[in-house]
A and B are shown apart, each in its own frame.
Chain A
Amino acid sequence: DAGVTQSPTHLIKTRGQQVTLRCSPKSGHDTVSWYQQALGQGPQFIFQYYEEEERQRGNFPDRFSGHQFPNYSSELNVNALLLGDSALYLCASSYGTALTYNEQFFGPGTRLTVL
């Protein structure tokens, strides 16, 4: 079992550009959550996908959007990049949406740098 995988590992973009990050969940998991982790900070919840729909959203602007595919993999899209979007983007998967009862497994993250 490869666990949660994310691609790419690192990415450098310029302000105003758009970026797509990808996540494959752990085998058997059907729910994907995305987090933004700024340097020296804890992860901040962006949104959660289940059954190809966004189920919960954190305090992030509409520039952040996502998608979940029938095979449960997911994409995070960020439009009109700002310098402040530079961070480690973490994907976590679980079986079911209730994080109180279903352990989340995190991927290694994608390091996004916006210049």
Chain B
Amino acid sequence: QQQVKQSPQSLIVQKGGISIINCAYENTAFDYFPWYQQFPGKGPALLIAIRPDVSEKKEGRFTISFNKSAKQFSLHIMDSQPGDSATYFCAASKSNDMRFGAGTRLTVKP
């Protein structure tokens, strides 16, 4: 019952490059779309989130682009750094239910 599809599974980017991760959802009732960052041995931590009433949200080097009609959203990491190397999860939520994508393992090479 995967309701959030995430791609790619893994991504390798050079330092200074742009990392792009994409997600698609099925349930139009979802009204909150967060991105989480997870380092090995740690739990996921909220990175940035968006609601469907806006098409883009930027926080520092991280930007979410949201396309409500296509039911897609993406995370852009500008000027990617080796410290950004982690697994990234998109999620979609309504009320007290949150569904996660399968994750993208990002490696930023120095």
Contacts and interface: CB of A to CB of B under 8 A. Distances in A.
A22 B57 CA distance: 36
A44 B100 contact: yes
A43 B6 CA distance: 13
A106 B103 contact: no
Interface of A is mostly: loop
Contacts of B46: 103-105
Interface residue tally of chain A, by bracket?
Answer: 20 to 34
A63 interface: no
Contacts of B51: 100
Interface in B61-110: 89, 91, 93-103
Contacts of B103: 40-42
Nearest to B51: A100
Nearest to B49: A103
Interface of A: 4, 31, 33, 35, 40-45, 48, 55-56, 58-59, 90, 92, 97-101, 103-109
Interface of B: 1, 4, 6, 31-32, 36, 41-46, 51, 89, 91, 93-103
